[in-house]
Amino acid sequence: MRETFQSDFEPLSKLYAGRLYDDPMTFKCNRQYFPDLPEWLRFTQRHPYDNGFLYGTPLAPGKNIIEIFAFNKRSYDTTRHILIISVVPEEPLPYQAEFFIKLREIEKVLPSSVQDEIQQDLQKLWDTETLEIVNISSALDRGGRVPLPLAGHFEGVYVKVGSAQFFSPCLLMVLQPGHQQQCGSGAKVKVPGGCNFCSIPSNCITWCKTELFDLTKQPLTPPPPTAGAGILEAGGDLDFPESPPSRDLFPDYLVTVIVPLIITVVLCLLLAYIMCGRREGVQKRNERTNQIQLYHHHTIQGNGEELRTMAGSRGPAAPPLSTLPMFNSRSGQEAPLLRSDSPSVPLILAQHDPYSDSLPRQ
């Protein structure tokens, strides 16, 4: 209950007058010195403003110490409570029945008031007052699908009850072949006549998922294992087996290393013979080639060699006239050499006229 843990935190009335027990809280539960709860115990809390529920049916007698941590989402404070659950052995009720309530969720069934309403309806159905709730579990714990977050969609809850009195005629109708055949066909199953004791529509059971358990015909506990191979007799000493015998790994070495190596060598030799040992050779090729074609081939090779020799022995050529120095015939001034990277090039240079001195001026 959130009210139980609210007293451990700073009262909200100091901040907001008249608003007590309204802090959002989240709970974490685990077995003491363990990270999680026992396998038979479950915890659920739908919203930080809702109470949390621990529920489950013990599997064996003993003492369970549960740590409950409460986290205040407003002040970020934390408190811790200890819950001790003592389980004592008890004989199970011989006749038990499990019912599926489709229009319920687990946190809506766990409050004692709702359990009393369901138990009263089932007492009328069983026709007995000595009826006890044995187990309550969510359909999600049985592999059910998560419903849509819409109105009218619920998870569903399984409620298991037990009694010392035998099943009523209404419950025995579940075992009739006609009822089972109708459920297997997928048709809508109607409530047997005179067996509708559902006072609240949300507490109505699903008849096709109703199961009966007669524990008087079933062994309550499995028989103990008989002494034999692997079973130690009472008071006996455990004789550990000796070390396994040594294993010869040489055959495995031959199979995994030597054999693949031999196959690889053989394949390499075969490939070398195919690539190198079966070549025709130059002499055999020349013998099969036409003499005129062979002569023409040698002529081309000889001409190519001759051209390469002539090109290698050729001396340096005379420099072009554009690179020679130019001068003015009248002033005798020489112009600088023309360079390809020169930023300026002379436009017009005077050239020497051999007939200028021999002809008289007029």
Segment 153-212, tens digit of pLDDT? 899 999 999 999 999 998 998 888 888 888 888 777 777 767 888 889 899 999 889 999
Look-up of token digits 């229009």? 103
- Spatial neighbors of 192 by CB under 8 A, at least 6 apart, are 170, 173, 179, 207
Asked if residue 197 and residue 174 are part of one domain, the reply reads yes
Domain end point (choices 33, 66, 87): 87
Give helix then strand counts, H and E, for the chain: 9, 11
Domain end point (choices 217, 250, 283): 217
- What is the pLDDT, as a whole number, of residue 348? 45
Residue 100 within any structural domain of the chain: yes
Q: How far apart are the first and last CA of the chain?
A: 138
Asked if residue 196 and residue 169 are part of one domain, the reply reads yes
* Residues in a beta bridge with 83: 66
Query: Based on the structure, what is the number of domains in the chain?
Result: 2
Domain containing residue 31: CATH number: 2.60.40
Asked if residue 139 and residue 76 are part of one domain, the reply reads no
Asked if residue 62 and residue 83 are part of one domain, the reply reads yes
Residue 7 within any structural domain of the chain: yes
The tens digit of pLDDT for each residue in 63-120 reads 999 999 999 988 889 999 999 999 999 888 999 999 999 999 999 999 999 999 999 9
Burial class (CB in 10 A: 0-12, 13-18, 19+), 163: buried
Domain end point (choices 155, 183, 217): 217
Residue 50 within any structural domain of the chain: yes
- Spatial neighbors of 38 by CB under 8 A, at least 6 apart, are 31, 56, 64
Asked if residue 25 and residue 81 are part of one domain, the reply reads yes
Asked if residue 83 and residue 99 are part of one domain, the reply reads no
Euclidean distance between CA atoms 107 and 118, whole angstroms: 14
DSSP string, 197-250: --SSGGG-B-GGG-EEEEGGGS-SSPPPPPSSTT-PPTTPPP-PPPPPPP---H
Which domain range does residue 106 map to? 95-217
Residue 338 within any structural domain of the chain: no
Residue 71 within any structural domain of the chain: yes
Asked if residue 67 and residue 173 are part of one domain, the reply reads no
In this prediction the pTM is 0.57
Asked if residue 213 and residue 122 are part of one domain, the reply reads yes
Contact assessment for residue 205 and residue 161, using Cβ atoms and an 8 Å cutoff: no
Average the pLDDT over 3-18 and give the result: 68
The tens digit of pLDDT for each residue in 303-354 reads 888 888 888 777 666 665 555 565 555 555 555 554 545 444 444 444 444 4
Euclidean distance between CA atoms 185 and 180, whole angstroms: 9
Euclidean distance between CA atoms 67 and 43, whole angstroms: 12
Asked if residue 211 and residue 109 are part of one domain, the reply reads yes
Residue 282 within any structural domain of the chain: no
Asked if residue 211 and residue 120 are part of one domain, the reply reads yes
Residue 280 within any structural domain of the chain: no
Residue 180 within any structural domain of the chain: yes
Asked if residue 105 and residue 38 are part of one domain, the reply reads no
- What is the pLDDT, as a whole number, of residue 361? 46
